[in-house]
Amino acid sequence: MKYKMKIQREADFCIGQVVKHRFFPFRGVIFDVDPTFSNSEEWWKSIPADIRPKKDQPYYHLLAENDESTYEAYVSQQNLIADDSGEPVRHPSIPEFFERFLGDGYAPIKGHIH
């Protein structure tokens, strides 16, 4: 008899945490998490095959910034690392989700966590 093993996917990062991309020069604050990939196939295939992430892992919605602009990003867990700069993110939508910057992340607005 064979048993199927249930794989539990746990998020390594949390809402309000400041992270940066492992390969590309941007950082952001997490405002939502999907337990697995939840975007279009077209979007996924637009990522170069040699760095395309697996779908069966948490994906994070970020209020992101780079040197030129702010935007929203959707990033796999394998492509994120914690940002230990202690610097706040300058995205204009931060007040919609977070009360204040705590030095290593943001405090979510009470009752607003997804």
Spell out the domain ranges in the chain.
Answer: 18-108
Tokens coding 22: 């492992």
User: Cα 31 vs. chain centroid, distance in angstroms?
Assistant: 7
pTM for the model? 0.88
pLDDT tens digits for the chain (114 residues)? 444 444 446 899 999 999 999 999 999 999 999 999 999 999 999 988 988 999 999 999 999 999 999 999 999 999 999 999 999 999 999 999 999 999 989 999 987 655
Q: How does pLDDT run across 57-71, given as a tens digit for each residue?
A: 999 999 999 999 999
